Amino acid sequence: MGKRSLLTVILTAFGAVLAQMGAAQIVATPPRWYKGNLHTHTINSDGDSPPYDVLAWYKRNGYHFLVITDHNTFTDPALFDTNPNDNFLLVGGEEVTNARTVHVNAVGISRVIPRQNGSTVTELLQASIDAVRAQGGLPLINHPNFGWAFTATEMLPLKRTALLEIASGHPLVNHSGDGRIPSTEQMWDQLLSAGVRIYGVAVDDAHNVREEFSRTRANPGLGWVVVRATGLTRENILAALGGGDFYASTGVTLKEIRPTSTSLEVELPPASPTTSSPPHFRVVFIGKDGRELSVSNDNPAIYSFVGNEGYVRARIEDSNGLRAWTQPVFLGGVR
């Protein structure tokens, strides 16, 4: 039984107990989708805008939450996220950074994490992951191909992993690899196939929020996550991210993701009747070792498990090159 289906059983049992207690007046908040960016810089490191301006950009552009992740610098959300009623949440963060270009984002921390030490890339990654976990945060392994710093080989021994960057708006992170060095999405499959539980995210890694926007600058609005939660709180966002109840996107919006014990179903919103050239979509279902299991143009797209896939995840591709990625449903054998 997957983590989510177990959660469903617990919630259902909890609901039954409440009903028996005559607590009919307690109405559960239905979960909804919240859009956020987990990787952003400000003038607190090498970004070009003050935190409040960066926050304001994301708020204006339809986001619900943001993590400011300056290099080895913690930006206190309480100083900038001062309106509790604006349906926008700033989550504490930092990009734990060292000279070997091993960068790990700390999502949901509350005080600074110093530069970590280690004699190998694996040691540096593990030290950073442990420091983030020690604060109840989620470690996000950033851009392995930035500076061609490391591959799945260095990540395979890691413990207590949570998130891996598989897409980014940053122009220098080489996420597609070169055919010999794998793409970060291929690295993700290598980790999942070896039994490492880690979820894939898309981020902005934005540095340039002012002046002109161009493909050579690290602008905002290019990669994000959409999490399913019952309310916009740090705890809910971290629980959804840590439990894989979210999708990553560089531009494709999903209506619903339905993982069950027998299938994975992906539903896209209906095309807008006012769009003159609506994009077409295909949904690629992927299993262990990155194996393509099936491709569907249906909406919803449904993949029924055979049982030997190891895990099943979906990549949704639109006809303009934009993508979304669901998180894997584990079919056993994954720690």
Contacts of residue 201, Cβ cutoff 8 Å, sequence gap at least 6: 38, 140, 163, 164, 165, 166, 167, 225, 241, 248
Q: Of 2-10, 142-150, 178-186, 247-255, which part binds Zn ion (CB under 5 A)?
A: 142-150
Residue 41: CB minimum distance to Zn ion, A: 6
Alpha-carbon distance of 22 to 8, in angstroms, equals: 21
Place of tokens 């740090």: 234
Residue 174: CB minimum distance to Zn ion, A: 12
Nearer to Zn ion, 46 or 235 (CB): 46
Alpha-carbon distance of 218 to 211, in angstroms, equals: 12
Phi, psi dihedrals of residue 285, rounded to the nearest 5°: -95, 135
CB atoms within 10 A of CB 294: 15
Nearer to Zn ion, 105 or 161 (CB): 105
Which of 4, 59, 64, 103: binder of Zn ion (CB under 5 A)?
Answer: 103
Residue 124: CB minimum distance to Zn ion, A: 13
- Cα 67 off chain centre by: 12
Burial grade of 56 (CB within 10 A; 0-12, 13-18, 19 or more): middle
When CB distances to Zn ion are compared, the closest residue is 103
Q: Letter for the amino acid at 263?
A: S
Q: Of 198-206, 229-237, 286-294, 306-314, which part binds Zn ion (CB under 5 A)?
A: 198-206
**290: DSSP letter:** G
Residue 74: CB minimum distance to Zn ion, A: 14
Residue 105: CB minimum distance to Zn ion, A: 8
Nearer to Zn ion, 103 or 313 (CB): 103
Contact flag: residue 205 with Zn ion (CB under 5 A): yes
Q: Of 16-24, 26-34, 52-60, 92-100, which part binds Zn ion (CB under 5 A)?
A: 92-100
Q: Which residues bind Zn ion (CB under 5 A)?
A: 95, 103, 142, 205
